[in-house]
A = this chain, B = another copy of it.
Amino acid sequence: MSTSVKSNTKIEWGPRIDLSKVSDVFAPQVVPEFVPPTPGIDNLGITSTDTFMIPGKGEIAVDFSGYVRVARSQPTTGDWVTAEVYTNLIEMRMYGESAETGPIIVTLNTDCLSTGMLRTPWADMNCAQPEKACRMAVSAVFDLPSLGVKLVNKEPILLTIDNVRAIPPSGNPGKGQIYQLLPLYNSNDVDGAPAAYITALKFAMGKYLTPEELKALQH
């Protein structure tokens, strides 16, 4: 099972990429450093360690692995220093499990368009070859089938990657910008009080996948 972004999402955190104008990019790829990339849809592995506070169960850190598909815009300029690149996270599936929760499957919340961008930090605009900063605002569904509950975030989960020398930042570590807590809501009572919280999140972008590897992860 996988989820893809819908064209009629009611919430968009940022600019939408026209998917009719971008093609899939699979392994093998050699991505040059410090070069604004041609647009595409990157099919990449991902690993993540998310820490949840679940009332009655306490704080639980869960290791996830899976894949993402990220659409990238045409860079705004042909120059690495000044170019901004906009991104949409159009598909995601990560799997993890813990003794307290059983399996957890993380996919995109298709009610929202998860968006991001890469650009040079303002302080580095005078560098010849600056490292870029990447940010992505994500709406996810955390499916906990053993507990019979699906959790969603209503504020975006902000994922950031620094020291980006190539786009995509394959292999780079990143961090969820969680300040104390990010509330999660029961998808059956999305207007109710928070049902759980994310308290910390770190992740790493993986390598390009082959079509076969993607298909295996999309099961």
Residues of A within 8 A of B (CB): 10-16, 53, 59, 76, 84, 86, 117, 119, 121-122, 133, 135, 137, 154-156, 158, 160, 177, 179-181, 183, 191-194, 199
Contact = CB atoms under 8 A, between A and B. Distances in A.
9 contacts: A10-B10, A10-B11, A11-B11, A15-B191, A53-B122, A119-B181, A135-B180, A137-B155, A155-B158
A132 to B, nearest CB: 10
Contact of A133 (B10, B180, B191): B180
A102 B192 CA distance: 42
B59 A122 contact: yes
A10 B9 CA distance: 12
Nearest to A112: B11
Contact of A183 (B14, B59, B181, B194): B14
Nearest to A76: B193
Of the listed residues A84, A158, A199, the one surrounded by the most CB atoms of chain B closer than 10 A to its CB is A158
A137 B12 CA distance: 16
Contact of A177 (B14, B59, B86, B179): B179
Given A15-B193, A53-B122, A177-B177, 8 more contacts: A12-B154, A13-B154, A14-B194, A15-B192, A117-B194, A133-B180, A158-B179, A160-B179
A193 B84 contact: yes
Nearest to A162: B180
Contacts of A12: 154, 191
Nearest to A59: B122
A16 to B, nearest CB: 7
Contacts of A199: 122
A25 B84 CA distance: 46
A14 B158 contact: no
